[in-house]
Structure 1
């Protein structure tokens, strides 16, 4: 990989401006607040990195252009500042995450990818042809979610506008409602049984819906079909992530984001970006996770309901904890809690958002504090902050364990890890044993991995404790390897 080069153009304009790095950072933050980009929080070290060649995330390039233009009384474009311009769609390769933002191509790509998944259905089958994308190669294409695509309209509308045969589709309203209800049912199955059990069924349903989108419908029907496509592709991505198929998961997430854009559904697009960030946190790429979360916050700032805003703050805290930024993590935790207090009845929110309950809020914040403990040399302070949050999450999930089996098990593992941080291996082993029993029944490689890692940590530090030895034996017996379906 080529070394990053200093941005000489930006440096020249910055020097001419007479601003200090601190003043420039304050100007960027002020301008960001005025345009509603409240997630932007720049400091002198970030300015220094920009001058050294780091490419700022959206909407900072535009903010810089506006600031310098105002300073010098003439237009200073992003290109004048040496900032990367978006890659034209015509030059974008369609084999990674940098895909054309157009309705017809989105339908074609989802159809082809889901068909390949169904035909070559075995765990990790795309591992040889796909690699996980990260860094600028991931973030920059996702930023184009915010800008108008080449079409600006869904496929069905395009076909009619271009002289195609109008309304060739014969999908009835009851059939469309049944498809939407089926997607809700798939989500329930995933929460109860893990991603491995019904992944193939979701991919099959997704492929069928893309077949429907080959026809033309009234605009409102086309929009609902694109929204349905986005929800199914997102669920296929989530289930792929749950069973450890990371490149496949990312591909489905990206395709889902494209479909959500065609549906004009900014809040659901923000949810997709949130789960992409969750995947990056899982893979210890906190900086990428932050970029994705901030993109989601900026893109849905006027449309996200309070429950989703709280979710975004909670995931922002998780990303900051992954990078060890204590103060920003704590601030995001507070904002998540404060915003969640403004939520109304869960029935007021769309089905895809109802999973984010008080239990999930406590769980996310508990994991944020737990991860800060890891980044602070196993600090007992952050472990003690994590403990009551984790206990509350476990208690709340236990009350509805039938519908949230996997989440309950995840937080049992989380509570076990907190006990290990507090030097309590016996309690950790007892709690982890219950998680092992559940993990042996649900189909979630993500849960299995968490159980194994926590057990390995216990065995490494407390090998002589009998309860830890029993736990290690139980993991070998109860958690088999399995093939994703």
Structure 2
């Protein structure tokens, strides 16, 4: 990511100035120190901790206090601040704890945002690979070349096409097995020129594998695999495809959250209401992180991806009943889709047909109609 200098060093938050600031919940000093150490902009830090840039500026420059235990805990998780330093219990649920569902992990959005922004501040980023549903074996390979990477791309394209044509249930396990084989190439010798391409090809296979899991309602596996795909795409940030791929994965995570939100036709319980609100928040934050990622990487996103950002973000606002925001983004999406040259679409974007575009926009109006029936005819 542009401007990123280096990682937070071990013991950074244990220094006397940081301990004093944390004890007083002086997040202005904490934010300033973190940005100086990492090179993050205020906007990037804001996205990482789930606040607006204006709020971060007020905290950092005007001394505004962070109130509320839950917000302090969220900032602590996002920045990798040891929970004990702030007087919190450690966040339950390691990435390697097979009993913790990724749909319900409280720190999942912090992890996804840190991965997308390339901050590497989340303490468990280096264990993402081990979070996949099964373990990887070491590869007997000694060298990876261009033909091997092309083969990975062909495998990803095969599973994408077969999943669309015949359903995902038949191919999910096979795709996961292939992903583990490809993951074993991570530490095999590969030229510096080819390495970003290898990362992006690996990320694309993981992205497709996540979709196959999502399509059969295996949401926990989908989130695990997509989180790894997002990390791998970030490792290949020097490849032109990386930005489009990272954004697409984030938008799929937003799509999944909206799917898990699902308006209830009966009066929800308190637990159900809390879950629905969390899914709405997850969806919007993933879409907003996609927009930030699109504007902060070395390579720009394609027009079709920019249109999809607007379309998915419109869904998020429509689900919340914000007609003005949804209308604005639908119009933005329509304007961008009108500029897309369909004759040159990449295979991964082949599903973006006029019917798909109409369905995307119609879905936003349907979601608005759940708040105001006047939107139903347009849907």
Q: Shared topology, TM-score over 0.5? A: yes
2:155·2:205 contact (CA, 8 Å) conserved in 1? no
Q: 1:244 is paired with a residue of what secondary structure?
A: coil
CA deviation after TM superposition for structure 1 residue 340, in Å: 1.0
CA deviation after TM superposition for structure 1 residue 263, in Å: 1.2
Give deviations 1:66-101, integer Å, cap 9, x for gaps.
35666x5xxx5998998624343998989656xxxx
2:47·2:113 contact (CA, 8 Å) conserved in 1? no
Q: 1:301 is paired with a residue of what secondary structure?
A: helix
Identify the residue that residue 222 of structure 2 maps to in structure 1.
249
Q: 2:193 is paired with a residue of what secondary structure?
A: helix
* TM-score after normalising by structure 1: 0.53
Distance in 2 (alpha carbons) for counterparts of 1:287 and 1:190: 29
2:47·2:289 contact (CA, 8 Å) conserved in 1? no
Distance in 2 (alpha carbons) for counterparts of 1:141 and 1:236: 20
CA deviation after TM superposition for structure 1 residue 289, in Å: 0.4
Identify the residue that residue 158 of structure 1 maps to in structure 2.
none
The one of 119, 127, 141 equivalent to 2:111 is: 141
Identify the residue that residue 225 of structure 1 maps to in structure 2.
198
1:310·1:337 contact (CA, 8 Å) conserved in 2? yes
2:206·2:229 contact (CA, 8 Å) conserved in 1? yes
Give deviations 1:147-180, integer Å, cap 9, x for gaps.
3437xxxx9xxxxxxxxxxxx8323322321221
1:62·1:78 contact (CA, 8 Å) conserved in 2? no
Identify the residue that residue 261 of structure 1 maps to in structure 2.
234
Distance in 2 (alpha carbons) for counterparts of 1:88 and 1:68: 19
The one of 276, 284, 292 equivalent to 2:286 is: 292
Distance in 1 (alpha carbons) for counterparts of 2:293 and 2:51: 14
Count of aligned pairs:
290
1:78–1:175 CA distance, 2 compared to 1 (3 A): farther
Distance in 2 (alpha carbons) for counterparts of 1:266 and 1:94: 32
2:251·2:309 contact (CA, 8 Å) conserved in 1? yes
Q: 1:228 is paired with a residue of what secondary structure?
A: helix
Distance in 1 (alpha carbons) for counterparts of 2:333 and 2:25: 39
The one of 319, 325, 328 equivalent to 1:331 is: 328
1:306·1:343 contact (CA, 8 Å) conserved in 2? yes
Identify the residue that residue 341 of structure 2 maps to in structure 1.
344
1:35–1:93 CA distance, 2 compared to 1 (3 A): closer
* TM-score after normalising by structure 2: 0.66
The one of 158, 182, 186 equivalent to 1:213 is: 186
Identify the residue that residue 197 of structure 1 maps to in structure 2.
170
1:237·1:249 contact (CA, 8 Å) conserved in 2? yes
1:135–1:334 CA distance, 2 compared to 1 (3 A): farther
Distance in 1 (alpha carbons) for counterparts of 2:145 and 2:154: 14
1:64·1:78 contact (CA, 8 Å) conserved in 2? no
1:66–1:80 CA distance, 2 compared to 1 (3 A): farther
Q: 1:343 is paired with a residue of what secondary structure?
A: coil
The one of 303, 308, 315 equivalent to 1:306 is: 303
Q: Matches of residues 398-417 of structure 1 in structure 2 within 5 Å?
A: none
1:209–1:222 CA distance, 2 compared to 1 (3 A): same
The one of 80, 84, 88 equivalent to 2:80 is: 88
Distance in 2 (alpha carbons) for counterparts of 1:295 and 1:334: 20
Distance in 2 (alpha carbons) for counterparts of 1:315 and 1:219: 35
Question: Which structure 1 segments of 5+ residues have no match?
Answer: 1-7, 13-33, 38-54, 98-108, 114-125, 156-167, 387-485
Question: Which structure 2 segments of 5+ residues have no match?
Answer: 1-23, 29-40, 84-89, 127-140, 262-278
1:245–1:357 CA distance, 2 compared to 1 (3 A): same
CA deviation after TM superposition for structure 1 residue 279, in Å: 0.6
CA RMSD of aligned residues (A): 3.7
